[in-house]
């Protein structure tokens, strides 16, 4: 179900409260130095599903002696984040109001149907809007930075006569994940209760 601004009052997060946007870095020259700015996000309308996969390497340390059978502590290691993007392949699509091929790569501006043509990373924004009429109306914005396509599969089942759509399930690797939420949601309720003088920003 696509994003809609009329979200019913519910405690359960609904898929229609989520909007997926793409942000492509734009290189600009400022005098003698080169810096980067991000152009406004483009809504990705033909992405049917986004699945986030995040894993962390953990190392267990054990002490010597009688307590060596249970871990002494756990040391966190590297974090790896990837996304799976599911897209219905169209005969043609639009990228910045220009006609393109309807595959996943072209949707992100990489034409030719080959991951070879992705020569720069991009960002994906996952914007979760609260239900209509809630006091805290600010959305939760998660930005997946430095995104690169890892897989670009496509399957044609020429043995069937059914009119099934062709769907791509592409895996992309993410460099960093940054989430922007309101200050009221940033501190857990227990921390609010122990802060001197109450909680405020």
Reference 81, options 50, 51, 57, 53; nearest CA is: 53
What local confidence, expressed as pLDDT, does residue 201 receive? 42
What local confidence, expressed as pLDDT, does residue 199 receive? 45
What local confidence, expressed as pLDDT, does residue 104 receive? 87
Phi-psi region of 198 (alpha: psi -120 to 50; beta: other; left: phi over 0): left
pTM of the entire predicted model: 0.74
Digit-by-digit pLDDT tens for the chain (201 residues) are 455 556 666 666 666 677 888 776 555 555 555 554 545 566 776 788 889 999 999 999 988 887 788 888 999 999 999 999 998 888 887 666 777 788 888 888 788 889 998 988 889 988 888 777 666 678 888 999 999 999 999 888 888 888 888 889 999 999 999 988 765 665 555 555 555 554 444
Run of H or E residues at 194: helix 189-194
């Amino acid at each position: 179900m696509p994003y809609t601004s009329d979200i019913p009052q519910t405690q359960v997060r609904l898929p229609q409260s989520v909007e997926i946007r793409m942000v492509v870095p734009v290189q600009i020259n400022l005098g003698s130095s080169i810096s980067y700015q991000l152009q406004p996000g483009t809504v990705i309308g033909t992405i049917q599903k986004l699945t986030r996969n995040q894993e962390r390497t953990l190392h267990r340390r054990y002490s010597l002696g009688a307590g060596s059978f249970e871990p002494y502590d756990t040391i966190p290691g590297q974090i790896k984040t990837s996304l799976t993007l599911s897209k219905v392949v169209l005969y043609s699509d639009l990228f910045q109001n220009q006609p393109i091929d309807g595959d996943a790569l072209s949707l992100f501006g990489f034409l030719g149907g080959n991951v070879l043509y992705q020569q720069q990373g991009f960002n994906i924004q996952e914007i979760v809007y609260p239900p209509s009429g809630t006091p805290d109306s600010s959305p939760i914005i998660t930005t997946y930075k430095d995104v690169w396509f890892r897989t670009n599969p496509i399957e044609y089942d020429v043995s069937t006569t059914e009119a099934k759509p062709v769907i791509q399930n592409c895996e992309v690797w993410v460099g960093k994940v940054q989430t922007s939420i309101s200050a009221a949601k940033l501190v857990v309720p227990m921390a609010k209760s122990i802060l001197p003088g109450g909680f405020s920003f």
